[in-house]
Amino acid sequence: MIRDPEPLPDGEAPYALLEAAGITPESTQADVRDAAFTLMTRGLMNPATQAAADELRDPVRRLAADALLYDADLESALAQARERLERDRQAAAAPTAFPPPELGPELFAVVAADAPEPRPASAPEPELPGAAADFASPAVLDRLIQFDQ
Give the mean pLDDT of 106-132.
77
Burial code of 29-55, b = ≥16 C-beta within 10 A, e = fewer? eebbebbbebbeeeeebeeebeebbeb
Domain boundaries, the chain: 14-67
Q: Say how far apart CA 127 and CA 129 lie, in whole Å.
A: 7
- C-alpha to C-alpha distances, 67 to 60, 97, 130, nearest whole angstrom: 11, 44, 88
pLDDT at position 142, please? 77
Tell whether the model's pLDDT for residue 6 goes beyond 70: no
- Mean pLDDT taken over the chain: 80
- φ/ψ of residue 11, rounded to 5: 110, -145
